[in-house]
Amino acid sequence: MSRLDTFAVRRLGPATHASPLQLATTSTEGIPRWVDDDVRVLAEIEVSSQRAEPPPATFEKAGPRARLYFDPARTHAAIVTCGGLAPGLNNVIRSLVLELHHRYGVRRVTGFRYGFEGLTTSGVPPVALDPEAARAIHLFGGTSLGTSRGPQDPEEMARTLLDRKVDVLFGIGGDGTMRALHAISGALARRGAKVAVIGIPKTIDNDILHVDQTFGFETACEIARQAIAAAHTEAIATRNGVGLVKLMGRDAGFIAAHATVASRDVNACLIPEAPLSLEGEGGFYAWLVARLRARGHAVVVVAEGCAARLLDAAGAARDASGNIRYELVDVGHFLRDGIHAHLAAQNLAFALKYVDPSYMIRGVPANALDAALADTLARHAVHAAMAGRTDVLVGRAHRVFTHVPLEAVLEGKRIVDTTGALWLAVLEATGQPRFSGAAG
Residues 122 and 11 in one domain: yes
Highest-confidence segment of 23-27, 308-312, 326-330, 377-381: 377-381
Please write the tens of the pLDDT for every residue from 409-433: 999 999 999 999 999 999 999 999 9
Distance from the Cα of residue 78 to its chain's centroid: 21
Residues 187 and 56 in one domain: yes
Work out how many domains the chain is built from and give that number.
2
Report residue 194: phi and psi, to 5°.
-95, 75
DSSP string, 60-120: EEPS--SEESS-GGG-EEEEEE-SS--TTHHHHHHHHHHIIIIIS---EEEE-SSGGGGGS
Share of the chain above pLDDT 70, in %: 92
Residues 287 and 298 in one domain: yes
Q: How far apart are CA 270 and CA 141, in angstroms?
A: 28
Q: How confident is the model at residue 283 (pLDDT cuts 50, 70, 90)?
A: very high
Residues 225 and 336 in one domain: yes
* Alpha carbon separation from 414 to 32, 208, 254, 339, 388 (Å, rounded): 32, 6, 9, 31, 28
What average pLDDT does range 305-317 have in this prediction?
70
Residues 204 and 305 in one domain: no
Residues 286 and 271 in one domain: yes
- The reply to whether 205 belongs to the active site is yes
What is the 3-class SS of 358-396, one letter each residue? Answer: HHHHHHCCCCHHHHHHHHHHHHHHHHHHHCCEECEEEEE
What average pLDDT does range 308-320 have in this prediction?
62
Residues 43 and 182 in one domain: yes
Q: How far apart are CA 177 and CA 234, in angstroms?
A: 39
Please give the mean pLDDT across all residues of the chain: 92
303: CATH: 3.40.50.460
Contacts of 434 (CB under 8 A, 6+ apart): 274, 275, 282
Amino acid at 207: D
164: CATH: 3.40.50.450
Q: For residue 182, give its domain range.
A: 3-214+366-409
Instruction: Name the residue among 414, 324, 394, 437 with its Cα closest to residue 172.
Output: 394
pTM over 0.85: yes
pLDDT at 157 over 70: yes
Exposure b/e, 286-296, CB count within 10 A at least 16 = b: bbbbebbeeee
Instruction: Name the residue among 302, 432, 429 with its Cα closest to residue 357.
Output: 302
Q: How far apart are CA 332 and CA 350, in angstroms?
A: 18
* Alpha carbon separation from 21 to 25, 297, 386 (Å, rounded): 12, 59, 12
Among residues 175, 205, 251, 370, which one is catalytic? 205
Please write the tens of the pLDDT for every residue from 337-372: 999 999 999 999 999 999 999 888 999 999 999 999
Please write the tens of the pLDDT for every residue from 195-219: 999 999 999 999 999 999 999 999 9
Q: How confident is the model at residue 47 (pLDDT cuts 50, 70, 90)?
A: low
Within 323-367, residue ranges assigned H as helices are: 331-345, 358-363
- Parallel, antiparallel or unpaired: strands 108-111 and 76-81: parallel
